[in-house]
């Protein structure tokens, strides 16, 4: 079911918060391998891994994944994706970040359909069910319109829930860190200088919003934890245990 997409997994080994996280194992399988297998399962198109480190390159080859060595000077994951995708003529480029091991193929497909409905970029979000995530800066929150257009992304709890608001039990929504670009949108994005809000929050998607680009958000019911810090490995184990118990109870 190739839909004229190229899926690129940017897998930087030298992460500031958690060096080597893409090769850390969860249940005996590296984070990067979890990501690669989910990307392949989506059937949206060929998958390649883009990295700045030969350790990741060697690992990718060991699991049979296509991989390219990109410049260590890439400013962001999207810049790395763009470099890796230059030789491709695919109409859509997917930035499937290498720290999202529990991405579901259905989530990618939903975001792809949302993007094709008229947005420059597509991504996904889900209601926050763990209250600890609301004030966790590593859990990125989204403010979204009824039509599914992203208004803002933040590491802070947005939108603010005023105690006098008539809206009760309105959920916060977390962002799943991947992006589906039209090729023209990706080319536009990488030519933009980092924006003030992007630098302030350290969220590259704010560069797109500040420039007037539109981001469509597919609404999904649940998102697994991303691996940003060593502590997230515990959250990953908890997520897998919960998922297994649900399957066994059916």
Helix spans in 45-173 (H) = 54-62, 77-85, 105-116
Residue 243 pLDDT level (bands cut at 50, 70, 90): confident
Interval 20-68: pLDDT, tens? 999 999 999 999 999 999 999 999 999 999 999 999 999 999 999 999 9
Instruction: Please tell me the pTM assigned to this model.
Output: 0.92
CA distance 234 to 87: 39
Domain ranges of the chain: 5-249
Interval 73-126: pLDDT, tens? 888 889 999 999 998 999 999 999 999 999 998 999 999 999 999 999 999 999
Beta bridge partners of 175: 125
| Fold observed for domain 5-249 | Spore Coat Polysaccharide Biosynthesis Protein SpsA; Chain A (3.90.550)
Residue 16 pLDDT level (bands cut at 50, 70, 90): confident
CA angle (228 as vertex; 96, 213 as ends), nearest 5? 45
- Tokens coding 155: 């590491």
Half-sphere exposure (CA, 13 Å, Cβ side) for 220?
24
Residue written as token pair 């991947």: 178
Helices 54-62 and 31-42 sit at what angle, rounded to 10 degrees?
Answer: 50
| CB distance 214 to 144 below 8 Å | no
CA distance 235 to 178: 19
Q: Which range among 219-223, 232-236, 246-250 shows the weakest confidence by mean pLDDT?
A: 246-250
Computed from CA positions of residues 229, 232, 236, 239, in that sequence, does the dihedral angle turn out positive or negative? negative
């Amino acid at each position: 079911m190739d839909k004229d997409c190229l899926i690129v997994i940017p897998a930087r080994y030298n992460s500031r918060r958690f060096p080597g996280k893409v090769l850390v194992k969860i249940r005996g399988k590296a984070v990067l391998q979890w990501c690669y297998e989910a990307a392949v399962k989506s059937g949206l198109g060929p998958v390649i891994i883009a990295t700045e480190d030969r350790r990741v390159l060697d690992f990718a080859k060991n699991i049979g994944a296509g991989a390219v060595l990109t410049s260590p000077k890439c400013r962001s994951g999207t810049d790395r994706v763009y470099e890796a995708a230059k030789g491709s003529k695919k109409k859509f480029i997917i930035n499937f970040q290498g720290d999202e091991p529990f991405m579901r193929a259905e989530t990618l497909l939903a975001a792809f359909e949302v993007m094709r409905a008229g947005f420059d970029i597509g991504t996904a979000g889900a209601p926050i069910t763990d209250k600890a995530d609301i004030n966790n800066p590593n859990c990125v929150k989204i403010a979204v319109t009824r039509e599914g257009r992203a208004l803002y992304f933040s590491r802070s709890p947005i939108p603010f829930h005023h105690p006098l608001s008539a809206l009760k039990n309105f959920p916060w929504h977390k962002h799943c860190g991947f992006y589906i670009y039209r090729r023209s949108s990706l080319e536009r994005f990488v030519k933009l200088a980092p924006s003030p809000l992007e630098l302030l929050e350290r969220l590259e998607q704010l560069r797109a919003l500040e420039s007037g680009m539109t981001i469509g958000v597919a609404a999904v019911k649940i998102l697994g934890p991303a691996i940003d810090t060593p502590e997230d490995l515990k959250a990953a184990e908890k997520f897998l245990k919960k998922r297994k118990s649900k399957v066994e109870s059916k």
